[in-house]
Each structure stands twice: as C-alpha cells, then as structure tokens.
Copies of this chain bind each other. A is one copy, B any other.
C-alpha cells in the first residue's frame, strides 16, 4: 500500500467532512486498511466511513461508489471498467479493434502507464494486493463483460484477454524487449486486435 505509512491515521474523529486534503488522506488510509483486511467484495463503505471518522453519506457523496473509492485508494490512474464499455458498446465484429485501440492509447500516456506499472509491480510483490486486485477485477470487470458475451466460458475468455494485456505491458514496458518495446502502437494494433477478437467472439 503506497502511502499508508506517510502519517499516522487519526481515528474516530467523528463528523469530519471528506472534502479537505487531510480528511481525504485519512479516508484513503482507512479504505486501504479495510480492503486489505476484508478483500474487495466484503469491505463496506459504512465500515470505512466509521474507521475514518466521517459520515457515510458524505463518503458516498465525495467518493461515489465502493469501486471508485477502491481505485482512489490503490491510486489507479484509470477506471478499468472503461474497458467494459469498449467491449460491450458497438458492433461485436469490431470488439478486438476497440479493445486493442483503447489499451494501446492508454499506454501512450506516460503518467498513466507509469502508474499502471507501479500498481502491477505492487501486485506482483504482494499477495495481499494481488488478492485485492483479483477481487476488484472479477467483480467489476470480468463479470460485467462476461454477461454481455454470447460465447461459451465467457469469464475464461475475458481473463485470457486480460492476461494478454498484462503480459504485453510486462514485455513492452518492464522487460522492454526489442523490437516490441519500441514498436509503434499502429504495428501492434492489428495483431492484438485479432487475438482479442478471437478470445471474445470466435467460437
């Protein structure tokens, strides 16, 4: 958990609003602790609000839903559920192209990419963080995409796509093997698109 140790969490100061920077940090620390202790599915907004000493309704107001609070707590630079829309919106014959285009464009932004890789490294180094990510991704991404696909074993197929995206990020940016590391996105696009299309659509 990246910044949990920055400063000791003040506890049980009821009535604080989640608007200020200090309160935001307190809330995110409480969220990280709650998610780490219970996992994504079992952690609750109510318990996080209580631990942070803020009003639950205000927590909802400022952070939205549990998934948004989770992404903020783990410093995700992008909402992984955006990829759900890429899959389910539009023509099914173009789903591979849409997903590949979306992922490659995301990585073109160095700050987004760096932050995603940091999340990835943290998950690789910590079973606790890996379990958290797993719970989040299955609940918020895999299940949601899978219900919209009419192929056998849709969850397995979505996870194969995720495994390709993960492996490509590792090979391109962490291992940085050439020519893959320096290849322009436009060279990767048709190849990745075809693989994704095969996983998600073809039977």
Contacts and interface: CB of A to CB of B under 8 A. Distances in A.
Interface of A: 121, 123-125, 130, 133-134, 137-138, 142, 153, 155-157, 159-160, 162-168, 170-172, 174-180, 183, 187-188, 191-192, 194-195, 198-199, 202
Nearest to A123: B175
Report which residue of A138, A195, A198 has the largest number of chain B beta carbons within 10 angstroms of its beta carbon. Answer: A195
A24 to B, nearest CB: 29
Listed residue (A137, A170, A174) with the most chain B CB atoms within 10 angstroms of its CB:
A170
A176 B162 CA distance: 12
Contacts of A165: 167
Contact of A159 (B160, B162, B164, B180): B180
A164 B187 CA distance: 17
B167 A163 contact: yes
| Residue from A130, A160, A188 whose CB has the most chain B CB atoms within 10 Å | A160
A180 B164 contact: no
Contacts of A199: 191, 195
B180 A124 contact: no
Which of A179, A188, A199, A202 has the most chain B CB atoms closer than 10 A to its own CB?
Answer: A179
12 contacts: A138-B177, A153-B179, A155-B180, A159-B180, A160-B168, A160-B192, A162-B167, A163-B168, A163-B172, A163-B180, A167-B167, A194-B202
Given A156-B188, A163-B170, A164-B195, 20 more contacts: A125-B125, A130-B174, A130-B176, A134-B177, A137-B177, A142-B177, A153-B183, A159-B180, A160-B180, A162-B171, A163-B167, A163-B171, A163-B172, A163-B180, A166-B167, A167-B168, A194-B198, A194-B202, A195-B195, A195-B199
